[in-house]
Amino acid sequence: MSERVIAITGGHGALGHAVLSAARNTGLKIAVIDHAMGNPVPQGVLALGGVDLTDPKQAEGAITGVISRFGRLDVLLNIAGGFVWQTVDDTASAWDRMHALNVSTALNASRAALPYLKASDEGRIVNIGSAAALKPGAGMGAYGAAKAGVHALTQALAEELKSTRVTVNAVLPSIIDTPANRKDMPSADPAAWVAPADLAAVILFLASPESRAMTGALVPVTGRV
């Protein structure tokens, strides 16, 4: 995968950091796009902070920044997203927020990246769905609906791009072993969860030329949950 250029949205989060670490070992040229500002990145990695991917113009500007630095884009990893636990009878506005953070960010980044991905010999988009969207439990309605939207976006865009060399797939993790999840669920066994490094390995396979036979796939990555 040497010389290929990969853009990671949400690259400063726990999963984004794991993907960044793994991608560096493959020889990829890397850009990190995130709303967070000022987080350190390894030398040679392009960091674009303060980007609100729910705004199409800011998404377009970020992708333009990647092209300005590297001259090409081969892979877009839509890792940016958000989670909230909220019951349906709660009147807070989690539904719109979850849609914006999970669906709109992936949509806007993908739209901005498509012209450059189509120019690649092996263009790739990898989205982050959720196993919870397949059968949402209590308090998972807003999040599950948003991730179901990511699944639909993945499959629809994959169909639309079948005449090109761009593939679009999504991973569907269960609980990821992050510091935040350990804090929120102190009595759970994190050994049963999905390690970020293991999920990163699946994501990078879908980002690689070797995954060319897969498009529109929703790939469960559920550990032992």
Amino acid at 29: K
Q: Which residues contact 160 (CB under 8 A, 6 or more apart)?
A: none
Q: Of these residues, 143, 168, 171, 178, which one is catalytic?
A: 143
**Nearest C-alpha neighbor of 222 from the set 92, 152, 154, 132:** 132
Query: What single-letter DSSP state applies at residue 104?
Result: I
Q: What angle, 0 to 180 degrees and rounded to 10, lies between the N-to-C axes of helices 14-24 and 196-206?
A: 60
Active site residue 143: yes
List the structure tokens of 216. 């529109």
CA 133 to chain centre: 15
Residues 131, 121: Cα–Cα separation, whole Å: 31
Q: Which residues contact 172 (CB under 8 A, 6 or more apart)?
A: 129, 130, 131, 133, 134, 151, 218, 219, 220, 221, 222
Query: What single-letter DSSP state applies at residue 210?
Result: G
- Map residue 125 onto helix, strand or coil: strand
Annotated catalytic residues are 143
